[in-house]
Structure formats: C-alpha cells, structure tokens
Amino acid sequence: MLETTASTTTASIPAAPTTAVRTLDDLAALDVAQLEAIYRTGKVTSLHALDGSPVCRMLAIRGVTGVPATVLRSFAAASFFPWAGKSFEAKSDGEGSGINRIRLGGGLRWFPFQTRVEPSAIDGAPCILLDYDHAPNPKPIRMIRDELREVAPGLFLGPAMLDRGHGDPTLILFFACDCSGN
C-alpha cells in the first residue's frame, strides 16, 4: 500500500477485492488500498477506447476514512458535484488530448491535458498518462499527474497525484471513467 508517495516500490501491495468490479459504484465502495490493488491489475488499451465524454467520478481520497469518506463518496456521486469528468479525443492508439468538464457557470471546460502511454509512477507498468504540464494551465494544475488503466470492459481507474518535479509524485486520490456508454 502506498503511504506517502506514488512511486514507493518496497511497500506491501494490498490484495484485490474478491468480487468483480464492473461499475463506478463497485469502485466507489472501495478504499484507497483496494483501488490501488485493482489499478495494478489494469491494462492499457487504445486511447480510442476513451474517446468522448465518459461518466467519471472521484472515488476515494488518501487518508480520508470512515464517515468522512462515506460523505465524500456521496458528494462525488451527486449531480451537483463540481467536477463532471473528462472528455477525451485520441489522435492515435497511443496519443491524444482531453479536458476536464466542470459544472460551474453552466458547464465549463478547463484544464486541458495531453494523453500518451508511459510508465506509471505507481508501479512502472504502462499506463495512460494525462499530462497537464502545458502553458494554458496554471502552475498548480500543471503539477497534477493523472493516470488511467482499464480494469473492466470500458471502465478506467486511475490515481491523481501531485508531482512537484522531484520524480516522486504524491498520491492524492483515485478516480474512474466509465466509457462503456461512449
């Protein structure tokens, strides 16, 4: 399990839940350690599988447990949660772009990113990197490192990390995108 950074390699790896994960609700019922275990089993597919505006959800925040975690899960699933997800457009199987959808002000698109396949900061295996380090984004957004892997058909899970440029991103939370309806 990751304790302080996303690139810890000597930490113990939690066991994946024994029940099959098929939906955003299945993932939202899990804690950070369980989500990390599932993420480690995920695969990279063509970026075209993400094309469109999938249903996305924040799942769990590192260090938040118990009642506060339950409240955050409910808030993240609500139609008034400020983050509405991400939209993706692949240019090829391994390269593309996207943007975050925000529910404020009648619906905004903020914080563009580029997508590509790259080694994960979690375990070094291939992942789909969402790279925010581009001029249109403010500095705090440019420090975000999101990753995705497919963990069930059309269901992508990933960590959101803060990368201060020291080569050791800090895990903040897990999120998921359901592309099965795209």
Question: pLDDT tens, 22-65?
Answer: 899 999 999 999 999 999 999 999 999 999 999 999 999 999 98
pLDDT exceeds cutoff 60 at 7: no
Query: How many Cα atoms occupy the beta-carbon half-sphere of 40 within 13 Å?
Result: 19
Q: Which of 84, 86, 85, 88 is nearest to 48 (CA)?
A: 88
| pLDDT tens digits along 154-163 | 999 999 999 9
Task: Grade residue 182 by pLDDT with cuts at 50, 70 and 90.
Answer: low
Task: Grade residue 19 by pLDDT with cuts at 50, 70 and 90.
Answer: low
Sketch the domain layout of the chain as residue ranges: 24-178
- pTM of this structure: 0.86
Instruction: Say which CATH topology domain 24-178 has.
Output: Lipocalin (2.40.128)
Report the chain's terminal Cα–Cα distance, integer Å. 33
